[in-house]
Amino acid sequence: MKKSTTLALLSAVLAFTAFSCSSDSDKPADTGGGSDTGKTKYIITATTGAQGIADYLLTTDDISTGAITTTGNGLEQDGTYRYYITAKNNFFSLLYGQGNPGAVTTYNLNSEGKLVKKSNFQAETVHVFAAVNNDILTIKVPRSGASIASMYKIDAEKSIIVGEAQQDTKVLAGNGERAFFTWATQVGDKVYMPYMSIKGDGSDNFGTANPDSTWVAVYNYPELKLEKVIKDNRTSYLGEYYTNGLFQDENGDAYGFSGAVAQSNSVLASKKPSAVVRIKKGTTEFDQSYFFNVEEKSGGYKISSTSYISNGKFLLLMYGEAGKKAGAVKLAVVDVYNQTFKWATNVPETITMATSRYNIATEDGSSAIIGLNTPQGNWIYTVNGSTGVATRGMKVEGGQVTAIQKLKY
């Protein structure tokens, strides 16, 4: 899975498509992932760049030390790009299929801690997928042409489609452009879907004449009926194409992260700062008393992507060039409660690719676990959410790290 160093310039639309696995991993037997021994394993995905192979799935008990390799190891994932989500203690491997429908393939861990294939079924091409209640909600969002976005509910335990809904994105935008969902986040018993306003004109599809506004569409669940659009104009849209920008904390409040990198004809058009906004628990309005100007606190840098750690602490990947949507990413940690910003320390000088969309937190909630790929090698790091100190752990050999997840068995 090859990503640009800016991490937000993904141009592919996601799809779930079929794939073959190496060795005996294709056998659906012994799929006892429901057993609970109190143990866990990390799943590390790594790409070698080999033709027709997206990633290898590697498993390990400990990512704090040692090394792991793709050579003669792991479950082979075919295709060009792979995307992943963990829900209900199942690991879903999703393949970009050039716009064609394909297979959703599910893994879990058996009683011996071995990653085994659980199920396989067909689904539509999508680019948004998020865990909601016992489901995975997926959304197929058009960038031009037809304006209907299709939403699908997949039962995360049974691995079957259990419902769907539609949204006319031009009607939702209501400004002559179209809404393009960046992600979906469960907030309480509803689903909040931040979106960009885009031209979708077949020429400057992701350009916009509305670069400095923020929108979150609120849907009930499981019916997926639109209830309201939450609006603001202190920063730009939340998240980015295929990048989550809205997170619910332990208190039930939702924090939205904007890179303020909207463009028109490939030129940065946002005039507002990269910032964090808040929606208080039980409300469907942006909290006008809260505004965290990250661009100012960082010395002029913009947010590329965000991962939640815990208790108001977040790991940020920042664009490497101040004021621009460009440059090799830099790591930082923020406390949204106290509105503090710290650049991470002990990180590699040059990061060529990071697992920004597939990070997890440590068991104690103190740190984020992230894969960092560099010219010198590829490692798993933990970054403390309070101090910003990064600690290098396991080395990943024979491929670049593309995702890190965790399952119980």
pLDDT by residue (tens digit) across 8-51? 333 333 333 222 233 333 333 333 445 566 899 999 999 999 99
**pLDDT score at 105:** 83
> Is the link from the previous residue into 222 a cis peptide, with omega within 30 of 0?
yes
How far is 397 from 409, CA to CA, in rounded Å? Answer: 26
pLDDT value at position 78?
A: 80
Contact 370, 380 (CB under 8 A): yes
Distance CA 66, CA 173 (A): 50
Q: Quick one: pLDDT at residue 9?
A: 33
Residue 116 burial (10 A CB sphere; 0-12, 13-18, 19+): buried
pLDDT value of residue 35? 54
Rounded CA-CA distance 284/230 in Å is 6
Dig out the tokens for 273 from the structure.
């700062």
Which helix (H) or strand (E) segment holds residue 343: the answer is strand 340-343
Q: What are phi and psi of 343, to 5 degrees?
A: -70, 140
pLDDT of residue 25: 33
CA atoms of 9 and 408, how far apart (whole Å):
33
Nearest Cα residue to 315 out of 384, 400, 364? 384
Spatial distance between the Cα atoms of 379 and 261, rounded to a whole number of angstroms: 29
Encoding tokens for residue 37?
């021994």
206 CA to centre of own chain: 19
CA distances in angstroms from 59 to 118, 395, 398, listed in the order given: 16, 13, 15
What does the radius of gyration of the chain's CA atoms come to, in whole angstroms? 20
- Please choose, from the candidates 133, 258, 121, 116, the residue with its C-alpha nearest in 3D space to the C-alpha of residue 183: 258
- Say how far apart CA 69 and CA 51 lie, in whole Å: 18
Global pTM value: 0.90
Q: Which two tokens stand for residue 407?
A: 């399952």
What six digits make up the tokens of 122? 């067909």
Q: How far apart (Å, rounded) are the C-alpha atoms in residues 10 and 357?
A: 12
- Chain-centroid distance, C-alpha 84: 9
- Cβ burial, residue 15 (10 Å; 0-12/13-18/19+): buried
Pair 94, 16: CB distance under 8 Å = yes
What is the rounded distance in angstroms from the CA atom of residue 117 to the CA atom of residue 343?
40
> Which residues, including other chains, have CB under 8 Å from residue 92's CB and lie 6 or more apart?
84, 85, 86, 104, 105, 106, 107, 129, 136, 156
Average pLDDT for runs of 10 along the chain of length 409: 36 30 33 63 95 93 97 89 91 79 82 91 82 95 95 93 96 98 98 98 97 98 98 98 96 98 97 98 97 98 98 98 96 98 97 92 97 98 98 98 96
Reading the block at residue 104, the tokens are 């959703």
- 72-103 pLDDT, tens digit per residue, is 999 998 888 888 999 999 999 887 766 776 66
pLDDT for position 292: 99
